[in-house]
Structure 1
Amino acid sequence: MIPKICPSCGDQLIVQTLNCNSCGTTVTGQYPLPPLLQLTPEESQFVLDFVINSGNIKIMAEKMQLSYPTVRNYLDNIIKKLEK
């Protein structure tokens, strides 16, 4: 898994170097992680499961053994995080 948080200070990491394994080209700069990579592992798993289950909150609630409103709130929090 790609590290997202600096082990020294706890701030968010950025990508500075991208390399092509085929030709050896290196691209450098400062690139923020895409929004989906900024989610916690638990949030990422939720998004993956949500997509696999066709966005059906009822199925997600059953799978997570949580109430529909609780799962809806969890999804809403992820949406807010992705909109930043």
Structure 2
Amino acid sequence: MPLEHHPLNREFSEFKTQLHALLSSDGHFVRLANEYEELDKRIYEVESGRVAMDEVLLLGLKMQRVSLKDELSAYLHKA
């Protein structure tokens, strides 16, 4: 299975307009989006073998990413 980043613009391609609007106007959404992107980068680094990490810790990061994605999704559905 090839490694992939999971950027918000691809994960929520159907919400392109709402994503752009929230990233331009909502500080809390921007903070959550930045946190999501940083987690995604960390996970990719571990999965690519560039950074060593225990599987349990990696799973924790993935769970955090899913939680943030759910929260971001809720914002986008309201916008």
Q: TM-score, normalised by structure 2?
A: 0.36
Bigger relative contact order, structure 1 or 2, given CA contacts below 8 A and separation 6+?
2
Q: Which structure has the highest helix share of the two?
A: 2
Structure exhibiting the larger radius of gyration computed from Cα positions: 1
The structure with the greater share of residues assigned to strand is 1
